[in-house]
Amino acid sequence: MGNILLLNEDFMDFPIGEFPYDRNHSAMGEYHFIHYSGYYGKWYDPVCNHTYNGQGASWIITEYNGKHFMEQMRIRNDKPHRTFPMLTSGSRFWRDYELEVSLRMFTTKWGNAGIGFCCQNSANLLVLIFEEQQLKLEYRHKEEIEVLASVPFEYNCDDTYTMKAAVSGSHVVCEVDGVKYFELDTDYAKQGGKIAITATIPAQFGTVRVFADEKTAEKIKEAEQDYRRQCDEAQKKYPEMKLVKKLNLKNFGSGRQLRFGHLLGNGEYQMVMAQCQKRVNRDAYGTISCLTAFDLDGNILWQHGEPTDNTELGTISADMPMQIYDIDGDGFDEVITAKNFEVLILDGRTGEVKKRAKTPYSTSEEDGTIIGVPDKTYAFDRINPDGMRICNFRGLDKPRDILIKDRYCRVYALNDNLEVMWHFQSDKNTGHFPFAIDINGDGCDELLVGYNMLDCHGKKLWTMPVDDDHIDEIVPGQFMSGPNKGKKYFACVAGKEGFIISDFEGNLLKKDGIGHAQRVSIANYCPDEPGYEMVVVNFWGHQGIVYFYDSEGNERWEMENELNGNLLTPVNWTGDGQDFILLNADTERGGLIDGNGVQVVKFPDDGHPTLCAEAVNLYGDGRDEIVTWDYNSMYIYTQDDNPKENVYEPYKYPEYNASNYRGEYSYREKLW
CB 663 within 8 A of CB 331: no
- Say yes or no to pLDDT of 396 above 90: yes
Q: Which residues contact 649 (CB under 8 A, 6 or more apart)?
A: 572, 575, 617, 622
In the predicted model, what is the mean pLDDT of residues 431-453? 97
Confidence category of residue 121, pLDDT binned at 50, 70, 90: very high
CB 161 within 8 A of CB 103: yes
Instruction: Please state the pTM of the whole predicted model.
Output: 0.97
In the predicted model, what is the mean pLDDT of residues 518-536? 97
Q: 447-468 pLDDT, tens per residue?
A: 999 999 999 999 999 999 998 8
At 609, is the secondary structure helix, strand, or coil? coil
CB 353 within 8 A of CB 339: no
Q: 292-314 pLDDT, tens per residue?
A: 999 999 999 999 999 999 988 77
For 371, the enclosing helix (H) or strand (E) is: none
Give CA–CA dist 599/491, Å, rounded: 25
Torsion angle defined by CA atoms of residues 175, 179, 183 and 187, in that order, rounded to the nearest 10 degrees: 0
CATH number of 4-229: 2.60.120.560
Confidence category of residue 568, pLDDT binned at 50, 70, 90: very high
CB 558 within 8 A of CB 489: no
- What pLDDT score does 118 carry? 98
Cβ neighbour number for residue 16 with a 10 Å cutoff: 10
Helix, strand, coil shares of the chain, percent, nearest 5, are 10, 40, 50
Distances (CA, A) of 57 to 51, 105, 424: 12, 18, 41
Give CA–CA dist 581/597, Å, rounded: 9
Q: Give bridge partners of residue 176 from the DSSP assignment.
A: 163, 179
- What pLDDT score does 175 carry? 98
In the predicted model, what is the mean pLDDT of residues 566-578? 97
- What pLDDT score does 366 carry? 66
Per-domain residue ranges for the chain? 4-229
